Chains A and B, each alone.
Chain A
Amino acid sequence: MRDLQSIRSQAQLWKVPPETGELRVAVVGAGKMARFHLQTLNAMLGLRLVGICSPTSEKRNDLRDEFGIENAFGNAAEMFQETNPDAVFIAVSHAVTFQVSSLVLELGLPCLIEKPAAYSSGQIAELVKLANKSGCLNMVGLNRRFYSTVNQALLAVMQQGPIRGILVEAHEAILEYRSRRQFDESLYGNWMIANSVHAIDLLRMIGGEVVNIQTSKREINESRGDHFTGAIEFADGALGTFVAHWNAGSGHGMKIYGEGIVAELYPLEEGFLRYASGRVIKLHPDWTDRKFKAGLYAQDTAFLQSVCDGTRSPFPASDLKDNFKTMCLIEQIQGRN
């Protein structure tokens, strides 16, 4: 039984278009992100949650019962065979995302892959090849792209004229994260790809194609660097700046500079528009960003709508081909290429 009581109006919920009929959705993973996706999927109309898969039986059964999923599986291949899904959400641990995504793409199943799709641009390129081979629709889950605040800021700056600059700050308290010992070393060693990808991806989302980049970094505590700056030129003429000082604190923020306006989002979930005249307008997240994990409802809607009409999702969505460029940018900032 879907709990829609707390949703303001069913008219605001996304519905599977009648011409599509039912949409069979399967979820791989039973962790925190899988739960967030299930919460949004649960608030859409016309979906059938046909399966969930996780090696941990307790977790998968809990989510199955909580969200009324038809079946729970311990093996992804078995789930796909049994349930024949129309769309797959991949929200597994970072270490196995590449492996699971490869399987789903080989099977040609439309999929939303939670970021990071892989730990290197080389692996992303392999996934792109697989997707091209099977002609399979795909999207990378970068929910910041769908934040209502980010989109409001972008629209408000674009209303005044061209975008002139973007400043993105992505500070990470890596020492503190390491001390929690929640994840394995491969994740901490790839922290910029695992987490800062959100912020770096916003540089590309707002600025467009990168034509030139100059970077500097320092390795104080981390062998791959923990203090970074980057100066970026975009094809449309905007200038980008990336700043990350890990262990100085944590948090992602952004400024978008336009003609007589600056949008400031610190953190990305809230912000202000500052006009040259002195007027300040506060940005507020919309109801979907308040009700669910921010950006997720809009992102999942965009993905599922694409699955329904079989077309690639437009801006602000990012697919594997687009994500390859973000991954290259991360590697340039980190000096890994």
Chain B
Amino acid sequence: MRKEIRRRRLEVGEAGWGIPQPQPARLRGISATKHYRVAVIGAGSQGMSQCQGLLAVKGIQVVGLSDINVERLNQVGDSMNLASNTRFSDANEMLRKAAPLDMVSIATTAPHHVALGRLALTSGVKRILLEKPIDVSLREARAFREECIRANTLLAVNYSRRWTLDYRAINRCISRGFIGEPRSIFVTVGKGELGMHASHYFDLCHYLFNSNPAWVVSNLEPVRERNPRGATFEDPSGFCLFTFENGARAYIDFSSDLGPKDPFVAIKGTHGRITVDEQRMFWTLQSRSQRLWSIPFAEPLKSSTLFSRVAADLLSRPPVTATEESGLVALEMVIGSHLAQRRSGHQVTFPITNEDSEIGVTFP
């Protein structure tokens, strides 16, 4: 019976037999011999995943965790076994007392990203990682990027799919020409929110097409429910259609009638296609030879696991994936989608000026 199942599986094609076994995230090169002091601002669920991810990398020490909510801070601190002198209710105080810091990660909601990033920058930190989206203000985000460049500080935005082994492998397959020129990406996310979920796929399309967005049309739903991250936030469901400067298209659907999240990505090239089933953790590749490869994920898309790779990457020399620029593009795509909705479905052309980007919407 086992032999029969094995035979059948092999006939549809698969990369080897069994689940791949990747190496855990680790510091590389000269960085592998060093110890790095890292602090996290924000002890929400993302902050907790980040701490887990950081602690899983040999050579990285979490020397500070801050949150204005002391109860939540202590809960996370206790679950991570962080010493009491590494817990701070004030980010400024943490940056002062935990110094010197090799990296600061900001895992709060979007409106505070740049403001807290500036605190880290002025305290002399040379690597700053912002949770996505980079901020709610394109003007502020652009200005902060310039400040980081002037201070020779590495700024990255945690669009974690860029760091996953499988999406990176997919990108390599595309670069090698397995499916020809990628022309279209179709994503069904499930019920999701524009800034919170869809922006991951905006960035993914930008990454896989290796081209900047040209224009967007969108259809966003009226927000009826209170956002779980706070009443001030407005982050609608809906769908967006982007074209890119190389002529490629991306359709991302995160409408509320799609039901629970079950992200599925289909990338169609001139000579083949790639599909990714994130929930069932496998991707397929069909090229011109008509062979269909079915490839199990090397590792799950788990926040903490991915963050280990993000942190190890940023702390190693030279960093291979720094995404402050792509973080700005993804924010433009979010703001462009809001603008397109306001213009009754008319297309919005990129780049968006600072003036046009002031839409007065706060998303988490």
Contact = CB atoms under 8 A, between A and B. Distances in A.
Interface of A: 8, 12, 14, 146, 148, 151-152, 155-156, 158-162, 259-261, 273, 275-277, 279, 281-284, 286-288, 298-299, 301-302, 305-306, 311, 313-315, 317
Contact of B295 (A159, A162, A299): A159
B23 A260 contact: yes
A160 B165 contact: yes
Contact of A314 (B166, B180, B291): B180
**Chain A binding surface, main DSSP class:** mixed
Nearest to A282: B17
Given A155-B295, A314-B271, A160 B23 contact: yes
B144 interface: no
A296 B178 CA distance: 18
Given A159-B15, A286-B11, A314-B180, A298 B23 contact: no
Interface in B5-53: 10-11, 13-18, 20-23
B293 interface: yes
Interface in B195-247: none
A284 B16 CA distance: 7
A273 B19 CA distance: 11
Contacts of B20: 156, 159-160, 261, 273, 275, 281
Which interface residue of B15, B18, B165, B176 has the most chain A CB atoms within 10 A?
B15
B288 to A, nearest CB: 4
Contact of A302 (B23, B285, B289, B298): B289
B331 to A, nearest CB: 29
A152 B15 contact: yes
A68 to B, nearest CB: 23
A275 B298 CA distance: 12
Nearest to B23: A260
B18 A158 contact: no
Interface of B: 10-11, 13-18, 20-23, 165-166, 168-169, 172-173, 176-180, 270-272, 285, 287-291, 293, 295, 298
Contacts of B271: 311, 313-314
A160 B172 CA distance: 11
A54 to B, nearest CB: 28
B293 A155 contact: yes
A151 B21 CA distance: 18
A198 B165 CA distance: 30
A158 B168 CA distance: 8
A155 B173 contact: yes
A302 B288 contact: yes
Contacts of B173: 155, 158
Contacts of B168: 161
Given A159-B20, A273-B16, A314-B177, 17 more contacts: A14-B290, A152-B13, A155-B15, A155-B285, A160-B298, A273-B20, A281-B17, A282-B17, A286-B10, A286-B13, A299-B289, A305-B288, A314-B180, A314-B270, A315-B176, A315-B177, A315-B287
29 contacts: A8-B11, A151-B291, A151-B293, A152-B14, A155-B169, A159-B20, A159-B169, A260-B22, A260-B23, A261-B20, A273-B16, A275-B20, A279-B21, A281-B18, A282-B16, A286-B10, A298-B290, A298-B291, A301-B288, A301-B289, A302-B288, A305-B290, A311-B180, A313-B271, A313-B288, A314-B288, A315-B176, A315-B177, A317-B288
**Which 3 A-B pairs rank lowest in CB-CB distance, beginning with the nearest?**
A260-B23, A298-B289, A315-B177
Which interface residue of A156, A160, A315 has the most chain B CB atoms within 10 A?
A315
B327 to A, nearest CB: 23
A286 B172 CA distance: 23
A277 B285 CA distance: 26
A277 B24 CA distance: 10
Contacts of B166: 159
A284 B169 contact: no
Nearest to A313: B288
Contacts of A275: 20-23
Which interface residue of A12, A152, A288 has the most chain B CB atoms within 10 A?
A152
Contacts of A281: 16-18, 20
Which interface residue of B11, B21, B169 has the most chain A CB atoms within 10 A?
B21
Contacts of A283: 16-17
Contacts of B272: 314
Given A301-B289, A301-B290, A315-B177, A156 B11 contact: no
B361 to A, nearest CB: 39
B359 to A, nearest CB: 40
Contacts of B177: 314-315
A14 B20 CA distance: 30
Nearest to A259: B23
A194 to B, nearest CB: 25
Contact of A152 (B172, B176, B290, B293): B293
Contacts of A148: 13, 291
A101 B79 CA distance: 71
A146 B289 contact: yes
B169 to A, nearest CB: 4
B183 to A, nearest CB: 13
Contacts of B179: 314
Contacts of B165: 159-161
B10 A277 contact: no
A277 B178 contact: no
B300 to A, nearest CB: 14
A160 B22 contact: yes
A12 B11 CA distance: 10
A304 to B, nearest CB: 10
A314 B271 CA distance: 7
A208 to B, nearest CB: 8
Contacts of B293: 151-152, 155
B208 to A, nearest CB: 15
Nearest to B171: A158
Nearest to A298: B289
A159 B274 CA distance: 14
A269 to B, nearest CB: 14
Contacts of B176: 315
A259 B272 CA distance: 27
A65 to B, nearest CB: 29
